[in-house]
Amino acid sequence: MEKYFLALILLVMVNSSFASIPNWLTIKAEKGDHINALLSRYNLQRSQCNRNQFYQLNQLKSSSALHIGKTYKLPILRYRYNGRSIRSTINNINWEKAIKIKRFNKQLHKKGLKRTSFINNSDLWVSYQDLGCSNNNIGTTSKIIQKKKRQRKNKRHKRKMNFPIFGSKYARFSTVSNKLHGKVFYLISGHGGPDPGAIGQRARHKLCEDEYAYDVTLRLARRLLANGAIVHIILRDPNDGIRDQKYLKCDHDEVYLGNKRISRFQHPRLEDRAFIVNNLFYSYKRKGYKSKDQITFILHIDSRNRKKQIDAFFYHAPKSRRSKQIAKRLYRTFKMKYRYFQASRSYTGRVLSRDLFMLMNLKPLAVYFELANIRNPSDQRRLVLPQNRESLAKWIAEGLMRHYRH
């Protein structure tokens, strides 16, 4: 009888120990899944801690793609709920964390990712971030120190800025780094004034090339300024700042820098733009700025057959080696971003040389963008969704910072 009770006690101890040992939630990748989408689906995307743990658990890099049908571990620990409280289930964690964990489980249950409440099936899910990441050994102490040094350095350069051209919502911002200090950018959005450029149609709304190119241009300008650059927006709209609407109203009130009117005729329009940029270029040259540190970006949106889907691609002048280098750096950045965010399909953009007027007649280095096919329904999503316009600007800015880092 004594042996029986001893065995029973040992069994209870083993079961109690097993209940306290969590395991990682696993999931099979489906068609169209990529890392960011997978983490977002499980409300994990906002935490770098969760992201790093996902890479470590699955031995992946940030640029890795997911494979359909393969099982991956998510940074979610599964605990056997003890029926009393979340705090006692997970080593008496504090009240605030317990509330966060409870809310996390409710959110995933509401999304249909958990079949039932943890109270009913004793299956408690805990985001790795909610445990404080004390065991996250991906980063070394030296890396943490370096990060803190960079943060202190950036804080010294941080200053508040106010540019009304970006609109009331986005006019005020602070610099985040000095990575582009000493660099001068001239930004020209395509068409404008009496010429709306290419026209698309979506859900009974007219899409004007000049409006969407201008919005991306403003977003890019703001990002470049935030990283310490000097920026000149050559074509400007006095009323339209950065807009977060899907459908941007077409108008004709754009002017050049200095409030000069835009000509009705194409060739004078191109000559005016080149004249403004070249004057600024020589002005900065006299101040000691190098030619390689002055770049012009010309942003357009293509118009092709409605069925033709295209990715953003880049033109450079035929004999400009440095412009080609910048275009290739941007191309590689876009390709990397597509591999990360669009694992379901590869990036098909290209870098080409063209003898376009603006590329041939500008004194600074110049790169010409075509962002999408304004008539293609899939490409239109790249334009009408404000978060996609922001991504285009962000990727261009990141590509430039990579260019100057190498």
Give the pLDDT of residue 405: 85
The 10s digit of each residue's pLDDT in 238-285 is 999 999 999 999 999 999 999 999 999 999 999 999 999 999 999 999
Domains parsed from the chain with CATH numbers: 18-131 (no CATH), 156-405 (3.40.630.40)
User: CA-CA distance, 252 to 196, in Å (whole number)?
Assistant: 7
Q: Of 105, 126, 128, 104, whose CA–CA distance to 49 is shortest? A: 128
According to the model, what pLDDT value does residue 153 have? 61
Note the pLDDT of residue 352: 97
Residue 293 CA to residue 404 CA, distance in Å, equals 9
Q: pLDDT tens across 326-351, in order?
A: 999 999 999 998 887 765 678 999 99
Cα separation, 320 vs 309, whole angstroms: 29
Q: What is the 3-state secondary structure (H, E, C) of the chain?
A: CHHHHHHHHHHHHHHHHHHHCCEEEEEECCCCCCHHHHHHHCCCCCCHHHHHHHHHHHCCCCCCCCCCCCEEEEEEEEEECCCCCHHHHCCCCCHHHHHHHHHHHHHHHHCCCCCCCHHHHCEEEEEHHHHCCCCCCCCCHHHHHHHHHHHHHHHHHCCEEECHHHCCCCCEEECCCCCCCCCEEEEEECCECCECCCEEEECCEEEEHHHHHHHHHHHHHHHHHHCCCEEEECEECCCCCCCCCCCCCCCCCCEECCCECCCCCHHHHHHHHHHHHHHHHHHHHHCCCCHHHEEEEEEEEECCCCCCCCCCEEEECCCCHHHHHHHHHHHHHHHHHHHHHCCCCCCCCCEEECCCHHHHHCCCEEEEEEEEECCCHHHHHHHHCHHHHHHHHHHHHHHHHHHHHC
pTM listed for this prediction: 0.65
According to DSSP, the β-strands at 184-189 and 365-373 are unpaired
What pLDDT score was predicted for residue 133? Answer: 67
- Parts of the chain with a pLDDT under 50: 1-20, 135-142
